Amino acid sequence: MIPSKRVYFLLGLAIAVSPILSLIMGVYPSITLTLLFDAVVLGLMVVDGLKVRKYCVSISRELPSRLSIGRDNPVVLKIESANTNTLIQIRDYYPVEFAVSTPTLSVNLAANDTPEITYTVQPHQRGDFSWGNIQVRQLGSWGLGWHDWQIPQNTRVKVYPDLVGLRSLSIRLTLQSSGSIRKIRQMGIGTEFAELRNYRVGDDLRFIDWKATARRSYGSTGPLVRVLEPEQEQTLLILLDRGRLMTAQVQGLQRFDWGLNTTLSLALAGLHRGDRVGVGVFDRQIHTWIPPERGQHHLNQIIDRLTPIEPVLLESDYVGAVTHVVKQQTRRALVVVITDLVDITASSELLAALSKLAPRYLPFCVTLRDPQIDDIAHTFTEDVTTAYTRAVSLDLLAQRQVAFAQLKQKGVLVLDAPANQISEQLVDRYLQLKARNQL
C-alpha cells in the first residue's frame, strides 16, 4: 500500500491548518481534531488501496525471439483493464545491462480497455540475460492509495549480433536481384552469359552475337549483343580478428562486435550472390573455422557459431591465420581480413601476412576506425591539453595512412571506415568487385 500525492497534500493541509485551529479552539482540541482527520485520511487510503485488488489489471510481455546488439528492440506490454477507469504505473525489470527508452510507463486506462504499450531496449553485450517480473502500481478510484504488486514474467533472452541490419540488407539485396532496383550489367566486364538484347548505340561491337542475329526471324532489324554478368559460385573467405585491438569500446560497443556485424553482413551478401562463404576467427591461433559453403542454411550456421565468441587480450597472429587459409583453400578466393591498425610498426606483421596472399588470392584488409579519433583530429582548439590530444590523434591517422599505402603497394585492397559505418561500405565494395569481375 503506497500513499498517493493527494494523501500527502491532505496531511500537509491538516498540519498547516492546525495552528489556526489552536487559536480558535485551543491546543488540545486542535491536536485531537488534526489527528482524527489524519486517521480518517489514512483509513480511506487503506480502503481505497484494498479495493483495487478487485479490479487489478492484467499485463503480458512480448519480446522478439532474438534481440539484436546495438539496436532498439521493441518490447510490447499488453494490458487488460477491468470495468473501471484507472491509472497505472509499470516498471519492467529488464536486464540492467540494457539501455531503455522509458524506465517507467504511466497509462490512463478506460473501462474494459486493452491497449498495447511499446518501449525499446538496446543491448550493448551479446549473450544470455535474465528478464524479471513486471512491477505494477494501480491507483484507487478515490485517488488516495496505490496498490503495488508484481506480475510473474521471468524469462531468459538471448542477444545476437545485429540481426535487424541483416534483415534490412537482405531486403535490399533481394530488391536488387528481382529488378525492383534496376540491375546494371556492364558489357564485357562479366564472364557469365545473362541474356541477348538489341544492339544500342555505344555498345562494344565485339559482343555482337552474329549467329543469334542470323537466326532471327525475317524482318527483324538490328544485331543482337550478349549481356554478361559477374561470375557466380566464387569463394569468399572472411578472417575476423578477436585479439587485443578488438576489445576497445567504439560508439558503445566493442570493436569486435562491430567486426562481427560486418562479417555477417558480408557473408549474407556473398551467399546472396551465389558465392561460397567461409569464416575464420583468430587470435594467436585459429579459434573458429567454418569451411566455405553456399545457401541460407549456411548463414544460420555462421550466426550460431559466431554469436558466443568474445574478444580476448591476446596479440593476434596474422601470419598464422593466413597460413591456415592457404592450407585450407587451394583455389583463388577473395580473402577479407577484418581487424584494426595502430601504427606502422604494429602493422608490419599484417603487411607480411597479406603479402603472402597476393597475387594467388585477392587480399582485402578492412580496418574499423574509431569516429571519436576523427572528431578530435579535425576539431581545432586552443587548450593545451586538448591540443596535445589532437596532435596524437592526427599522428595516429597519419600512421594509418602510411600503413595503408604500403598495403596497396603489395596489391592488397584496403577499406578504412568508422566502425559504425563499415558494414554498409564493405558490402558496397564487395558488390563492386563482383560487378567488375576483379576476383
**pLDDT, tens only, 152-211:** 999 999 999 999 999 999 999 888 776 534 444 444 455 556 677 787 877 777 778 778
**Is the distance from CB of 255 to CB of 247 less than 8 angstroms?**
yes
Q: Give the span between the Cα atoms of 337 and 229, in whole angstroms.
A: 26
Instruction: pLDDT band for 330, please (50, 70, 90 cuts).
Output: confident
Q: Give the span between the Cα atoms of 57 and 59, in whole angstroms.
A: 7
Task: Give pLDDT tens digits for 30-83.
Answer: 888 888 988 999 999 899 888 888 888 999 999 998 999 999 999 999 999 887
Task: Give pLDDT tens digits for 281-328.
Answer: 999 999 999 999 998 899 999 999 999 999 999 999 999 999 999 999
Q: Is the pLDDT of residue 389 over 80?
A: yes
Which helix (H) or strand (E) segment holds residue 247: the answer is none
**Domain boundaries 235-435, CATH class:** alpha beta
CATH code reported for the domain at 55-160: 2.60.40.10
Which 3 state secondary structure label does DSSP give 320?
Answer: helix
Which segments of 53-198 does DSSP mark as H helices, in order?
A: 163-178
Q: Give the span between the Cα atoms of 99 and 105, in whole angstroms.
A: 15
pLDDT above 70 as % of the chain:
93
pTM for the structure as a whole: 0.80
- In this structure, what C-alpha cell is assigned to residue 391? 596532435
CA 15: distance to chain centroid? 55
The CA-atom distances, in angstroms, between 431 and each of 364, 424, 436 are 14, 11, 9
Instruction: pLDDT band for 229, please (50, 70, 90 cuts).
Output: low
Bridge pairing between strands 286-293 and 99-100? unpaired
Which 3 state secondary structure label does DSSP give 24?
Answer: helix
Instruction: pLDDT band for 242, please (50, 70, 90 cuts).
Output: very high
